[in-house]
Amino acid sequence: MKIEKLDHVGIAVEKLDSALPIWEGVLGMVLAGTEEVVEQKVRTAFLPLGGSEIELLEPTDPESPIAKFIAAKGQGVQHLAFRVADLDAALAELKAKGVRLIDEAPRRGAGGARIAFLHPKSTGGVLIELCERG
Ligand code: ZN
């Protein structure tokens, strides 16, 4: 498996409207767009940064994984996303290595990407997303 780049950093926020003034107003980043990902019960906002992105994640439902993350740990960095060329091959390779996967098969993420999460228990406590963009 070859990781091509840091695709984005996912940050859990209670409200995009409260978070964006920090990222845009204080840090001077530019909002590229927002998108609701119904399957994951989140609304996302993307702020590109040097070939990667900051991805803000606002829960749209109390059962959203992001809502549960905020309830347990508060707002903040939630996951790192690495870009791979072939997500199916990467998952097969990691599975063969005994890495615990949250997603055994790819699912749809924001921006039409195919994504899968690795279990933090297998990665030293870091929630890692692999993503493949067409
Ligand atoms: Zn992500």
Distance 9 CA to ligand 1 centre (A): 7
Distance 96 CA to ligand 1 centre (A): 24
Q: Is the pLDDT of residue 109 over 90?
A: no
Q: How many domains does the chain contain in total? A: 1
Amino acid identity of 86?
D
Q: How confident is the model at residue 111 (pLDDT cuts 50, 70, 90)?
A: confident
How does pLDDT run across 24-73, given as a tens digit for each residue? 999 999 999 999 999 889 999 999 999 999 999 999 999 999 999 999 99
Distance 97 CA to ligand 1 centre (A): 23
CATH of the domain at 121: 3.10.180.10
Averaged pLDDT, 91-98: 96
Distance 25 CA to ligand 1 centre (A): 23
Distance 128 CA to ligand 1 centre (A): 9
CB 102 within 8 A of CB 120: no
* Host domain of residue 118: 3-132
pTM: 0.93
